A and B are shown apart, each in its own frame.
Chain A
């Protein structure tokens, strides 16, 4: 009985595929423009678009279709329109180049806008100089994969976000490269989603901007040289795994900004050459493990509003300040990290230092209060007062210490 059912199912599938036709669009084909092809197509048909420049304003897709670009067809918005608007489930767009959408401060004009649908796949496309790149609102179970988005705006108000997601669920964003937009990837009210293997750099504001987006994971992404780094705010249950945060330089620039985050994990990330690797406020119950903090201005700026966070097995190397804080009450746990400034000893040779390490220096507290004091960095005076404070803590929080610092840097490559 089961076999017959399976057979029936298979034939049904085969027949439905046989029913789907392929419509070709191109300058030397029967159909010259995409809109006409879409009007003619039945649901689940495939439209193949051949190379050439197509200037059709706001193409709407209102039935499930597959659009495939061959030989790099270019869809041009002539600096005035939105290019593609998807309002149907099960649409797949692949192999196109989208360029020059309009710029508007009233509407969010996008190269590809998708709203109120599910199972949409946007794959292997190029988006050049769009206002918003790929825009999803109220969607489910959709995929944005291997797209390249570039823009060349100079000011934040002239440009929108690269991949913009709003009020969606179960999205998958992988392997995209976004640069020159306002925010590389923008998430607001997006839940249960996965962001992986993306590269987001040279964006004007954040590489990743992330708000009210619970239970998401982002891993193996690269965020570098963005105006203000990465911001993750007002969220619970985020997993940040094996990401790379690099060269986010500037006064208000953070490798990773954590604001009001709860019950999350920051594991295996690398923070290299940021002004502030992690800035956190109002965050609790976050586990920081196996991260590398190297050559940053601040390793972690831990505001006193954070509590019950755990910092274990991280490497702190060549940072100007490892940890800075603005209060004396310590509600976080710091344990078993490697600190390159640690000068303790290990009598029983178990690889764990026998005296605690205090990662907050007096000078860090001074600079936290009076930024102009940074001028005295590496002077003899600062060296002396830091030494004195280490011997006899008065100003720095007494309890902010690593009781079992590692003698050797951890090797996370293994």
Chain B
């Protein structure tokens, strides 16, 4: 497995995309710190990158990468190697390189300009979200044989979690506004990794947004130690469940 992982890494480095991605994050983070004197505001701007741009890049890149290395995968599978091992090395290769690109690109400027609670939370949420969307990308890749279709599914995933789901959530909240919705919305938020990441971030840097009874309820829940464990746990589930299903589909698939 280690050997295949190494080849995947080399392959990824050859495309140079990762290098550009790291550089892009690095330069934009640095620029934001340079332009704005308030580090909390910078984290706020970085948050929109982490919640919007990064999932998009992760999911599209991972899907394209999977199809580009299709021949390599086929070649490997011609050898007496378990399908699971091949798949996992591909997966780990992409997930690890994308998340380390993020950690280096944003982490170094943050280290340079001062680490705060919210900055650490940003790095944690960013890394977890990257891996979640790589998992979703691999799931969409094994669902179909057609590259264009797979990218379509991947984009749909991104669109769904970034926009459509929130729209539905808002609709639910609005329609059932006469009922106590706190616990229901808590459950509903867990069904969207982007929302979960956003709330984890909001609690560390933008508490004034969470006012009122509802806000106090969320703050009491997510702000506690148990709440943190809960949200990280749910995000890990969002990593493991799609990966599990894609491994299952991949091992039974007629390539």
Contacts and interface: CB of A to CB of B under 8 A. Distances in A.
Interface in B201-218: 202, 206, 208-216, 218
B173 interface: yes
B162 to A, nearest CB: 5
B37 to A, nearest CB: 13
B208 A295 contact: yes
B202 A378 contact: yes
B213 A251 contact: yes
B211 A251 contact: yes
A295 B211 CA distance: 12
Contact of A371 (B41, B52, B198, B213): B213
A364 to B, nearest CB: 11
B202 A373 contact: no
A374 B208 contact: no
Interface string B239-255: 00000000000000000
Interface in A257-302: 273, 275-276, 295-298
Given A298-B211, A319-B208, A375 B52 contact: no
A370 B173 contact: yes
Contacts of A345: none
A381 B52 CA distance: 11
B62 to A, nearest CB: 21
Nearest to B178: A370
A22 interface: no
B208 A320 contact: yes
A378 B41 CA distance: 13
Interface stretch (B11-19, B79-87, B144-152, B164-172): B164-172
A319 B162 CA distance: 24
Contacts of B214: 371-372, 374-375
B174 A275 contact: no
Contacts of B41: 318
A372 B212 CA distance: 9
Contacts of B212: 251, 275, 297, 371, 374
A178 B208 CA distance: 26
Nearest to B166: A381
Interface string A177-196: 00000000000000000000
B236 interface: no
Nearest to B175: A370
A379 interface: yes
A382 B166 CA distance: 9
B47 interface: yes
Interface string A223-252: 000000000000000000000000001110
Contacts of A276: 211
A257 to B, nearest CB: 15
B215 to A, nearest CB: 5
Interface residues of B, number: 35
A369 interface: yes
Chain B residues touching A, majority SS: helix
Nearest to A373: B173
Nearest to B205: A378
Contact of B170 (A250, A298, A373): A373
B206 A320 contact: yes
Nearest to B161: A380
B3 to A, nearest CB: 41
B167 A381 contact: yes
A372 B185 contact: yes
A380 B163 contact: yes
Instruction: Select the residue from A373, A374, A377, A384 with max chain B CB neighbours within 10 A.
Output: A374
Instruction: Select the residue from B51, B163, B209 with max chain A CB neighbours within 10 A.
Output: B209
Contact of A376 (B51, B166, B206, B211): B166
Q: How large is the interface on A (under 10, 10 to 19, 20 to 34, 35 or more residues)?
A: 20 to 34
Given A320-B206, A381-B163, A375 B211 contact: no
Contacts of B213: 251, 371
Interface string A198-235: 00000000000000000000000000000000000000
Instruction: Select the residue from A276, A318, A319, A375 with max chain B CB neighbours within 10 A.
Output: A375
B191 interface: no
Nearest to A375: B185
Interface string A343-386: 00000000000000000000000100111111111111110100
Nearest to A298: B211
B250 to A, nearest CB: 31
B208 A375 contact: no
B209 A320 contact: yes
B108 interface: no
B199 interface: yes
Given A295-B208, A369-B177, A373-B174, A379 B215 contact: no
A374 B47 contact: no
B216 A375 contact: no
11 contacts: A275-B211, A297-B209, A297-B211, A370-B177, A372-B177, A373-B170, A374-B214, A376-B195, A377-B210, A380-B163, A380-B166
The 5 closest A-B pairs by CB, nearest first: A297-B211, A381-B166, A275-B211, A370-B177, A297-B208
Interface of B: 41, 44, 47-48, 51-52, 162-163, 166-167, 169-170, 173-174, 177, 181-182, 185, 189, 194-195, 198-199, 202, 206, 208-216, 218
Interface of A: 249-251, 273, 275-276, 295-298, 318-320, 366, 369-382, 384
Given A377-B202, A380-B166, 19 more contacts: A276-B211, A296-B208, A297-B208, A297-B212, A298-B211, A320-B206, A370-B177, A371-B214, A371-B215, A373-B170, A373-B173, A374-B209, A374-B211, A376-B166, A377-B206, A378-B206, A381-B166, A381-B167, A381-B170
